[in-house]
């Protein structure tokens, strides 16, 4: 991936994580960020950012990095209880 494209993905992931920081907790912000990325990012975008985290990841905020790690290691789906 061209560096400018990766830089843009990093910037977007950090921005999404910052937007979800209203949760006040890195874990919750990361979960909300991961959910957003799963829903709205193309597969190629997710694969590129996952590769970046595996190789370096230092330009990502803690919440963004945790979200990307969740994309790479998805949690099992649990049905909602009513």
**C-beta separation of 37 from 13 below 8 A:** yes
Q: Using one digit for the tens of pLDDT, what is the confidence trace for 35-61?
A: 999 999 999 999 999 999 999 999 999
Domain boundaries, the chain: 3-72
Residue in the structure block whose two tokens are 């099992």: 76
Residue 81, pLDDT above cutoff 90:
no
Q: Using one digit for the tens of pLDDT, what is the confidence trace for 69-78?
A: 999 775 555 4
Long-range contact set of residues 20-23: C-beta below 8 Å, sequence gap at least 24:
20/63, 21/63
The C-alpha R_g of the chain, in whole angstroms, comes to 13
Structure tokens at 10: 């990093």
Q: What is the largest CA-CA distance in the chain?
A: 46
């Amino acid at each position: 991936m061209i560096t400018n494209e990766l830089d843009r993905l990093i910037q977007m992931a950090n921005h999404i994580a910052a937007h979800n920081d209203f949760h006040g907790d890195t874990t919750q912000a990361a979960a909300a960020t991961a959910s957003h990325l799963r829903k709205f990012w193309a597969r190629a975008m997710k694969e590129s950012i996952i590769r970046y985290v595996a190789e370096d990841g230092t330009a990502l905020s803690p919440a963004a990095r945790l979200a990307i790690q969740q994309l790479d290691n998805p949690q099992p789906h649990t049905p909602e209880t009513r």
